[in-house]
Chain A
């Protein structure tokens, strides 16, 4: 470092910023250059296999479908207007409903995961070091099981002749056929179970770091336990809550295996719609438009995340 006391050296230092890397002085810019090189493979991968196809999908969403299901490269906004309910025969609510349902399922899954995951996170944070490892392993284990297998498992468990319905029936709880599966209960149950680890892990990381002396301070200042929790503990774990909600919301809105296998035909989400357009309907342009819509929903979720985490102020005081 140059002598910081003299004015000229300060000026010079602003112009030439020398970096020392592992004890070796590097010429200006070399560090960035080297870093860029190391990022090269990842950048190339993302460009070839993500950015280019994504651009293709976006372009496709403005194209038309030919009579035989082929793509006709003629610009149109029709795909998007269909998405908002403009069908050939006037207003058609199917597509807007799918959009709304996806967002709703995303929010509901995030909320349920938060409610279920919060006590678990606090419980794990209170364990001794050894039991913590055990508990966290237990939380992660479902990741190791294939999603399809888990989903088929729910099918067996929740079907009318399945274990749960039979036991409930013998316990005298009247349950209509297909009350659990296929339909919303099965979908939400599976969704929450699937995405719970995404909620518990960031929550746990926040709860671990909670400064409990703040909750004591709140009680000392006249806050009953619940208010102390609300005012002194919850603000400390807010980052974990938000991270967990984003991690659950994003994949949940795009989920298609669970609604497909457990929802019957009743619960179609964006993912299912895309699958249908690219598959059965052979309408690639419209499928692309739905995919782009799904992308926008997720970006909106992320935007919500950043705007919520940005400085939040309580009532202004002098």
Chain B
């Protein structure tokens, strides 16, 4: 554009608004390459069929560039109906961009998107069956709490007693009835959060999008609202797509998590899968603590691989998926600190001789920094109370590394 327009300031003239407006009315939509590529193949002929789709959201190779940065570099993922799904990743990994594309507040450069089985890209934001809880809450300052919540219903032009009934019941559900007459500037952070949530769920969306909804709250309140959000989701049966950079939050709340990094999905799975079988170094490090080291393939018998590592020779018991990786020579290995034992371990463990460098008592557990040869290991022992381990910096110690708990990583 020839005009000296600044980025996202005025939505009337910026390029994104032009892109969003270009598809309205709908006939213009098919001229967009992102839409025409998938439209014919994906549009279900029978709308009833769409309503029974088991998938709430389907993303097919979505890409989005901002200048020279790939915010999304081909993201494909499916979100099941009724699922608590989390997009987890560091800031700038594209998770919010993906959320905005699902909401219709941004358009992908290419790729396909279906919501509830219906092709969603030709639909503008206000026609999509999704609602968003914004990170900044974005409550209307000139409306009271109840008017804020009623906003979506008013936009649907429902009759007033309907609006009042549904608004009231949602306010009861989210326990904000006493706040009904207040204005957003008279609310605390946690209260605003509840209002923003109520304003979104009152519309009974097919998918609720939550953009770091707990990010601005203090820890105690966050824990409290985490539980409430989970209960609410189970009770309403709405599909939640939740964006966060907090791995604890993601682990404790989600049915499934997509770990994102640099515009890609690194790994998608349940919290257990991501913790027990991380596929990449990034996932292993981002979720929980992890000891990472390089290894060289030495030999292999059955599904047990011998590797040469800075710690010495290690036996690794592979899950079926890892076997062809093991043929590659150079390996990347990881093990969780709490799976390593300093108190004997079990028969069949790798036994290494190490030296305790540092002991950090942390209440429920004690963290040790142990050096084996020149490599360093972090070890966590649970303080079960049965006996004190009694290790001090400088002590020699036998380190047991169970072969089952070492995982092989890509890249």
Contacts and interface: CB of A to CB of B under 8 A. Distances in A.
B155 to A, nearest CB: 4
Interface residues of A, number: 36
B164 A216 contact: no
Contacts of A213: 134, 136, 138
Contacts of B13: 123, 126
A317 B125 CA distance: 27
Contacts of A212: 8-11
B155 A127 contact: no
A203 B163 CA distance: 34
Interface string A173-197: 0000000000000000000000000
A146 B3 CA distance: 32
Given A212-B9, A215-B11, A314 B143 contact: yes
Interface string B10-30: 111110000001000000000
A207 B200 CA distance: 27
A222 B126 contact: yes
Contact of B12 (A126, A131, A220, A221): A126
B155 A128 contact: no
B103 A220 contact: yes
B155 A318 contact: no
Contacts of B403: none
Nearest to A213: B138
Contacts of B199: 221
B132 A220 contact: yes
Contacts of A231: 140, 151
A158 interface: no
A29 interface: no
A310 interface: no
Nearest to B9: A126
Contact of B140 (A125, A130, A214): A214
A221 B5 contact: no
A141 to B, nearest CB: 19
A152 to B, nearest CB: 35
Interface in A194-241: 207, 211-225, 227-228, 231-232, 235-236
B134 A222 contact: no
B82 interface: no
Given A214-B138, A221-B152, A222-B203, A317 B4 contact: no
Contacts of B4: 127-128, 130-131
A216 B144 contact: no
Q: Which of B9, B11, B13 has the largest number of chain A CB atoms within 10 A?
A: B11
B189 interface: no
B341 interface: no
A219 B125 contact: yes
B280 interface: no
Interface string B99-129: 0000111000000000000000000111100
Given A220-B131, A222-B156, A128 B126 contact: no
Contacts of A236: 141-142
A123 B9 CA distance: 11
Interface in B151-168: 151-152, 155-156, 160, 163-164, 167-168
A220 B5 CA distance: 25
A236 B130 CA distance: 25
A219 B105 contact: yes
Nearest to B105: A216
A228 B167 CA distance: 20
A317 B180 contact: yes
A6 B334 CA distance: 61
Given A221-B199, A314-B147, A317-B167, A228 B126 contact: yes
A278 interface: no
Interface in A288-318: 313-315, 317-318
A161 to B, nearest CB: 38
A219 B126 contact: yes
Contacts of A317: 144, 146-147, 150, 163-164, 167, 180
A150 to B, nearest CB: 29
A314 B12 CA distance: 27
A122 interface: yes
A227 B203 CA distance: 17
Interface string B346-373: 0000000000000000000000000000
A236 B14 CA distance: 20
Interface of B: 3-6, 8-14, 21, 103-105, 124-127, 130-132, 134, 136, 138-144, 146-147, 150-152, 155-156, 160, 163-164, 167-168, 180, 199-200, 203
16 contacts: A123-B13, A126-B5, A128-B5, A216-B125, A219-B124, A219-B125, A220-B105, A220-B131, A221-B199, A222-B203, A223-B151, A225-B126, A227-B155, A315-B147, A318-B167, A318-B180
Interface of A: 122-123, 125-131, 207, 211-225, 227-228, 231-232, 235-236, 313-315, 317-318
Given A222-B126, A232-B140, 16 more contacts: A122-B10, A128-B4, A217-B139, A218-B140, A220-B103, A220-B126, A220-B131, A220-B132, A225-B21, A228-B126, A231-B151, A236-B142, A317-B144, A317-B146, A317-B164, A318-B180
The 7 closest A-B pairs by CB, nearest first: A126-B10, A221-B152, A217-B138, A222-B155, A317-B146, A235-B142, A219-B125
